[in-house]
Structure formats: C-alpha cells, structure tokens
Amino acid sequence: MRLCAAKYEPKIYVARFLWASLKHGGQLMEQRKEAAFEEIDVASMGVLLGVVAAAFVALGVATRRRGAVHKRYMVLATIAILSPATARIMIGLGQPQYARYFVPAMAAAFVVTCLVYDWRRHRVIHPAYVIGGAVILASWPWRYLAARQDWYQPIGEAIARVGAGA
C-alpha cells in the first residue's frame, strides 16, 4: 500500500500547495481592503507568487534523488512563499506603506543567506541558488507590474473570492 501512496504523494503535496497559495492570496486581498493598503497590491500577486514557488517545488520533486539539488530547490520554494507572510507582518505592525520595500528585501536577504552559507560551507556556490535566487529577485518587478494591470484585476478578484470562501 505504501508504494501506491508514494506514487501519488508528490501530486497531493503540489495540489495542497497550490490551493494554499490561492487561499492565502485571497485572504491577503481582504486584509488589504480593510487596511486601505493602496500603495502595493501584494494580495493579487498571490497567483504570480504561486507560479514561481510551484516551479521550484516541481523542480525539487523532480530532483529528489539528488539530495543537494533537491534541498536547494525546496529552500528556494520556501523563500518564494514567504512574501505574503512578510506582508502580513508589516500590516500587523501597522506599517503597510513599507511593505513595498521590506518584503522584497526579506526575500533577497534569505537568498543572500543561502549564497553565503554555500560559500562558507562548501567554498562554492551551487548554481541552483544562483539561478533560483535570480529568478525570485527578478520576479518582483514583474509581479508589481502585472498586479497593477487591468487584465490582471479579474484574476485578483477571483483569488479574493476563493480566499474569502465565496
């Protein structure tokens, strides 16, 4: 029975991850409306964030037999999904106007920490961290740009409805 479960286990985890990404993106949009968080639309970036994180999870699952590469992809996926939590912390602290700078800075700080760790531990930086970190950091301007476009507003509203349970 365990063999059968192992076959479907990665698919279940990816499905749960995508559902959680959509749900929390919608919750953040509702918080945004309550907090009058107009400077940045972090909430509607949830699906864009989910695409980046899901790509790292898929790469991690695909490379699970190579432990070093698998570990790095899963760490990058974790870093990619920390942005909504960081934005919620800023909202909770009553400083949503600084989220525009703080949220990408936290992601960059985690990526730099991974690079420094690799350098200190192995004296070489793994390409997964270099390329993955560049993808995470380069995705921020694209997310800001896409979240403010008219074509993306219906997508953001749909995420809000799913997150609100409607």
Concatenating the DSSP letter of every residue in the chain gives: -HHHHHHHHHHHHHHHHHHHHHHHHHHHHHHHHHHT--S---GGGHHHHHHHHHHHHHHHHHTTTSHHHHHHHHHHHHHHTHHHHHHHHHHHTT-GGGHHHHHHHHHHHHHHHHHHHHHHHHSS--HHHHHHHHHHHHHHHHHHHHHTSGGGHHHHHHHHHHHHT-
Tokens read off for 92: 């909770």
Segments making up each domain of the chain, as ranges: 2-164
pLDDT tens string 5-43: 455 555 555 556 555 555 555 554 455 444 433 334 554
Task: Report the pLDDT averaged over residues 115-126.
Answer: 93
Task: Report the pLDDT averaged over residues 142-152.
Answer: 78
**8 A C-beta contact, residue 84 and residue 108:** no
112, pLDDT greater than 90: yes
pLDDT tens string 37-91: 333 455 445 566 778 889 999 999 999 999 899 999 999 999 988 887 888 888 8
Neighbours of 32 (CB within 10 A): 22
**8 A C-beta contact, residue 114 and residue 133:** yes
Tokens read off for 163: 């997150």
Calpha distance 44→48 (Å, rounded): 8
Task: Report the pLDDT averaged over residues 93-111.
Answer: 87
**8 A C-beta contact, residue 76 and residue 136:** yes
Phi, psi of 93 (to 5 degrees): -80, -5
Per-residue pLDDT at 37? 39
Predicted TM-score (pTM) of the model is 0.67
